[in-house]
Structure 1
């Protein structure tokens, strides 16, 4: 069976999602939405960096694309700085009867316990009204801290604690808005960026620890957040900008699920703009990795290294996009509503072996 798909945005993740859709034999690309006139009118293949034209021309006309009534939209538009607008976009798609896989807003990957019911219910109602499904995922939050840790726990006799970590050098991450405005790199340590404002970490990544807790039948007493930042000892060149000495250049944050006074589930990020910064913090395997540790009987530790053309940051974008596209058939066939990682079956790279 072939499913008709629209790609919504062609930025850092959308570029790779577009390539993944074109590569999948069970998917038919029928439209591409772009946010700028500079991209409108261009063939999807050109936007994806491919040589063979698809005949699908990108457009800024959202109404025209929705009128095509695709089976699914792969939504990868930036939402960090426009959360409410992004949610309204998703509700619009759902009410139109179109299934959606999306990379954001990330808290929707498992919003229960993180968002109030008045924020969740309108999304669920839009899905039911249109008879469509919404699934938000990626790599983190996503399969590096939902399916990977849950798979490891299936081999446990006893579980004491589950820790999911991202340990990355972000110096090659080509997204200045995220790096400098949202994460606050290059700013004074006393200036808190959006990401580190009270409650933001637990909003974005609290969903990770709450989903693990729900999947393992644990009722949490609290979800907490903490962070630490390290200044650059000298100037660094990152994403075309100079990060001045004395400004933020490394970040460590933790979101912890607490039960009976102790950590049971932990989501941790350790992000550096240079590998020699903060040597006392945990170090990645290779240039960057996602690490899953299950403490108990037995203890497990899994380090997932990822590279694309030698670049781990690019590999994370490819992996996020491919994860969404792989799930398109399963989400289309699922019940109407807001889905989580435990609601869909195993998805694979079927049809991609060359």
Structure 2
């Protein structure tokens, strides 16, 4: 008889929506709890709020009560909460609350490869997980499957790796999440806090660069962060309102792990709106590896389509549930587990 894993979904936004549907379709998974703070969702069925079939699970806003349920894992899709210095401690404390309830945690939060970026949070989460006999695994699309899981695996085709560059991005024109406001779409670029955004985005994504560097044997002596911004050549019309000509419509962030002044591992990420109208900056999902052989180039098309752009963020976190629940306790990384494949 197939084992069924009992799941609580905490956060019913874009990624949570994709996860609910996946859980409904998997024989090996059972939804037992759903938590969100949106008044429009509380008290309603977790499937019906997305026009999916009924799940029989009513959405609650009380995570403490949900943690009393018999569950194997909490899928944490809550928005990142930062402290006054921009750190991730508030979200890390929420993770530890779940771990103390003896529930495993799989999350898309960027508390990822934290032994390199925030060792104090790594120790707190790792110790809490081990003390309670459960696990914490951060994985999604980015950081996660696309940076750094897939590039690191592809690097295994190389006899020698001298340099790796990962490019990606997303079109936010259909994104109704509150965090999209951080990009200042429609604002005057001269009045927008560009440096604050650069540092905030770097802290979100850069952990993937550190993991790729460590896995490939590079010891960075510097991390170079660059930011370019773009203005709308005409009025644009994303879901959240009109973005006037001349105002902000896109950003390109480049994070590079450096060795002796040379880029060794780079992540280039674009956030923009209306890519169908404005082609610059380009959203390219490409991986370029240099070494022996001379170069390896991979393109991945269709990874974040406008109609279902969050499936590839949810799927890595859902498909890994059995390995997390049945594996070792502590702070885990997907590259240390068995190959992640679709669940039945």
Structure 1 residue 193 displacement after superposition = 4.5
Contact 2:139–2:317 at 8 Å: present in 1 too? Answer: yes
Following TM superposition, the consecutive aligned residue runs of length 4 or more in structure 1 with deviations greater than 6 angstroms are none
Contact in 1 for aligned 2:95/2:105 (Cα 8 Å) = yes
Aligned match for 2:114, one of 111, 114, 118: 111
- Structure 2 match to 1:324: 317
Asked if residue 340 in structure 1 is aligned to residue 333 in structure 2, the reply is: yes
Alignment correspondent of 1:267: 267
Report if aligned partners of 1:74, 1:102 keep a CA contact under 8 Å in 2.
yes
* 8 Å CA contact retained: 1:112, 1:207: no
Question: Residues 272 and 295 of structure 1: is their aligned pair in 2 closer, same or farther, counting only changes over 3 Å?
Answer: same
Helix, strand or coil at the partner of 1:171: helix
Which string of whole-angstrom CA distances, capped at 9 and with x for unpartnered residues, describes residues 258-291 of structure 1? 0121000001012332335464x5x44xxxx522
How many residue pairs get matched? Answer: 336
Partner of 1:21: 23
**How do residues 1-354 of structure 1 correspond to structure 2 at under 5 angstroms?**
1-51=3-53, 53-79=54-80, 83-104=88-109, 106=110, 108-115=111-118, 117-175=119-177, 177-179=178-180, 181-193=181-193, 196-197=196-197, 199-275=199-275, 277=278, 279=280, 281=281, 283-284=282-283, 289-298=284-293, 299-306=295-302, 312-351=305-344
- The TM-score normalised by the length of structure 2 is 0.90
TM-score scaled by length of structure 1? 0.88
2-structure distance, mates of 1:100, 1:144: 20
Deviation at 1:80, TM superposition (A): 5.2
SS at match of 1:39: coil
RMSD value, Cα: 2.1
| 5+ residue gaps, structure 1 | none
- Contact 2:33/2:66 (8 A) holds in 1: yes
Deviations along 1:75-103, whole A, 9 cap, x unmatched?
11112567443222111001111001011
Mark the runs of 5 or more structure 2 residues left unpaired by the alignment: none
Deviation at 1:208, TM superposition (A): 0.9
